[in-house]
A and B are shown apart, each in its own frame.
Chain A
Amino acid sequence: MRKLTCAEAEPLLEAFQANELDGVTSLAVQEHVEECRLCQNLMRWNAEADASLRRLIAATPAASSTLRERVVAIGRNERHFIPATFRHRALALAAAIIGLLAVATIWHSRTSRAPDAMAFVQNHIQTLAKAEPVEFRTSDPAEAEEWLRTRLPFAPAVPRTDGSRLVGARLCQIDNRPVAFLLYEHDGKPLSCFVSADSQRRLRGFDATAANRVRLGTCEGKNVAAWDADHSGYVVVGDGSRASLLAFASQSAAQIRDGREN
């Protein structure tokens, strides 16, 4: 085996001392060092530096218990790590879906529960088909109000309008709610007026809004109008023209609201 020169051996001294050389090279360095006082001196200085470094290791603090806990917590928290950008997008998407579901649920609950004008029109048709469409015959709105007040959990105001005549009253149920039924003769045609304690603003089947916040619609060939007044909901169904029904509805709405204010 060729002997190493100092220039060759000296750069290998650190690896030699750290046992990082392969067997052949390590043996060559060892043979050189045994004969070279310069390299022996360098190794002594290296050993002195290594001793200093070992003392520094001993003087260097190990990981604290707090750090250990933090590091273990990282393992728990990052186990299902999602990159921040994706996480924010996913959260935004989830929030949007939840929002849409909430809106859809509210809309569905409102629309599915909201009574349809059709129920009033059918009741109008069925009632007029009866031999006696009213239970209490009277042309006096005050008498009709008194009769209704004793039979209903609310006190409906009975419309009094020009060009119409009250025929009588009866009680009915629409959408499982107690409703006052008033039969009028208006412009020579029968007109049914339904009064309930519920607002009619959610009632479906209307396509226009006229004066006095009266909504108008057509259902089964009958004209329908609805409005709220005096904490009650009013729906009128008539066999006459739309203009005739609107005149009754508009006048009644104004009269009841005025009466409430007075």
Chain B
Amino acid sequence: MPWPSHHQPAGGYSERIERYLDPLHRTAFRLTGNRADAEDLVQETCVRACRSWTQLRDPAGARGWLFQILRSAWLDQLRKTARRPHLVPMEQDTLHPSAECPPLPNVTVASERRKLEQAFDEEVLAAMNDLPEEERLALMFQVFGDLSYREISEALGCPLGTVMSRLHRAKAALRSSLSDYATRQGIVRRIENTEEGGSYA
């Protein structure tokens, strides 16, 4: 979230960057998958940010700017480790209808609900990691970085509409993954066999 005009960050680099450390680290952790690599990525981001701190003219744009640096450092790291990010060309950034989903089951029994949530979390995480890199970055910046659509467009260097389509596709993939899981497990079918609004037991 941008800084409100009446509460712009004061002080130098250290004071400002500390405010964004947690979202930077959470995003880096989910990008890299482990704490050591995440800390290295955040550190590299901070080194780059510190060196070009004077280029940040508007403190309100600090969050988007920092995540732009994080993205750049991450893609550099991927290049170094010869991991090929799955980048989507701009011409493919068009809206497309997502796959239809069966009705979501309404699981109310606490123990079943916890199991389902745990399974869903694993599915979501796996689906998120399978996303094309730019969609994955957009989603992670939104979720773990708490960036607004505008900040994501600054961080990714793409138009707002592209951010919307990337996040739409990313969420559609998560939805699809969850509904596939529910279908595989027979949860959806059993729900469909119950009366409308019935609960899974």
* A44→B97 CA distance, assembly (Å): 17
A46 & B125 in contact (Cβ 8 Å cutoff): no
With a CB–CB cut-off of 8 A, which chain B residues contact A12?
Answer: 164, 168
Which listed segment binds B: A59-67, A228-236, A247-255? Answer: A59-67
Assuming the contacts A20-B148, A48-B104, A67-B42, asked whether A15 and B164 have C-beta atoms less than 8 A apart, the reply is yes
Assuming the contacts A45-B101, A45-B178, A60-B144, asked whether A78 and B51 have C-beta atoms less than 8 A apart, the reply is yes
With a CB–CB cut-off of 8 A, which chain A residues contact B26?
Answer: 57, 60-62
Tally chain B residues at the interface, Cβ within 8 Å: 47
**In the complex, B12 has a CB within 8 A of chain A:** yes
Assuming the contacts A56-B124, A71-B18, A71-B21, asked whether A11 and B95 have C-beta atoms less than 8 A apart, the reply is yes
Assuming the contacts A15-B164, A61-B25, A71-B21, asked whether A38 and B51 have C-beta atoms less than 8 A apart, the reply is no
A7 CB, min distance to chain B CBs, angstroms: 6
B175 & A46 in contact (Cβ 8 Å cutoff): yes
* A126→B165 CA distance, assembly (Å): 105
With a CB–CB cut-off of 8 A, which chain A residues contact B14?
Answer: 71-72, 75-76
* A41→B105 CA distance, assembly (Å): 10
* A208→B152 CA distance, assembly (Å): 83
Interface residues of B in 1-48 (CB under 8 A from A): 12-14, 17-18, 21-22, 24-26, 29-30, 35, 39, 42-43, 46-47
With a CB–CB cut-off of 8 A, which chain A residues contact B148?
Answer: 20
Query: B42, B117, B168, B179: which contacts A63 (Cβ < 8 A)?
Result: B42
For A38, the closest partner residue in chain B by CB is B100
For A8, the closest partner residue in chain B by CB is B95
With a CB–CB cut-off of 8 A, which chain B residues contact A63?
Answer: 21-22, 24-25, 39, 42
Question: Chain B interface mostly helix, strand, loop or mixed?
Answer: helix
A71 & B46 in contact (Cβ 8 Å cutoff): yes
**In the complex, B143 has a CB within 8 A of chain A:** yes
With a CB–CB cut-off of 8 A, which chain A residues contact B95?
Answer: 11
Q: Assuming A66-B39, A67-B43, A68-B21, what are 18 further A-B pairs, CB within 8 angstroms?
A: A11-B97, A13-B168, A13-B171, A42-B98, A45-B175, A45-B178, A46-B171, A46-B175, A49-B174, A52-B123, A53-B174, A60-B144, A63-B42, A64-B39, A67-B21, A71-B42, A74-B47, A78-B50
B: which residues have CB within 8 A of A?
12-14, 17-18, 21-22, 24-26, 29-30, 35, 39, 42-43, 46-47, 50-51, 95, 97-98, 100-101, 103-104, 117, 120-121, 123-125, 142-144, 148-149, 164-165, 167-168, 171, 174-175, 178-179
